[in-house]
Amino acid sequence: MSQSSLIKVENLAFERDDSCLFDNINLAVDSGDILQIEGANGSGKTTLLRILTTALQPSAGKILYKGCTVTDCRYQYLSDMLYIGHQPAVKQTLTAEENLRWMVSNSAKSNQLAINDALAGVGLSGYSDVPCYALSAGQHRRVALARLLISEAKLWYLDEPFTAIDKQGVSYLEARLQEHADRGGAVVLTSHQDLALNNLRKYSLSAPAGQIA
């Protein structure tokens, strides 16, 4: 593992209810990488992502960002990071446009792409003023994923981003992930989807101590 890695994880462990969910997690993510976290349900994929985003604290080990522990460079790390969880976190009473505008307002780095253009990019053209309670689960997911078109974050953490979207949506999202990596960004995601992406590596939480390929 290079000292110049964008993200470096050393001997990470997490215990819950006096039981070890995982330990001895060692991995590195460089600019241009796409790392897919695999494992059976309950193996700790979402927990690992939440630890990497600092939403949870590990029981042991450390996370380095550009060689600095994330506790020592927390503002820069969070500013350079975008996290989209397994739940789309869409407010039902707001429209698609209002939801995305609220999401962007809470993001440290955003580009100048118009909100409506981002919604059109994820297949929601004509739905910008529709309350989200009237949208499908797949459309909720697309509202959340529209953030990928606006965010300038270098590091993307995505928890099951392909959930509830159709084949066309999967192809579109794969293309966005590849474009982000090709521009020097990095992606860490959980998914049961078989992905056809360049620079894709996999890390299994099902194998003892993890297994990277």
Q: What is the pTM for the complete model shown?
A: 0.88
- The residue-averaged pLDDT of 12-25 equals 90
Give the separation between CA 51 and CA 54, rounded to whole angstroms: 5
Domain range list for the chain: 1-80+154-213, 88-151
Which CATH code of 1.10.260.40, 3.40.50.300, 3.30.230.10, 2.40.110.10 fits the domain covering 1-80+154-213?
3.40.50.300
Give the separation between CA 86 and CA 50, rounded to whole angstroms: 11
pLDDT of residue 100: 86
- The residue-averaged pLDDT of 15-44 equals 91
**b/e per residue, 52-90, with b = 16+ CB within 10 A?**
bbbeeebeebebbbbeeebeebeeebbebbbbbbeebeb
Q: Is residue 213 predicted with pLDDT exceeding 50?
A: no
Give the separation between CA 208 and CA 153, rounded to whole angstroms: 32
SS3 content of the chain, % helix, strand, coil (to 5): 30, 30, 45
pLDDT digits (tens, 9 = 90+) for 123-180: 888 898 999 999 998 899 889 888 888 888 999 999 999 888 888 888 889 999 999 9
Residue of 87, 78, 80, 58 whose CA lies nearest to 155: 80
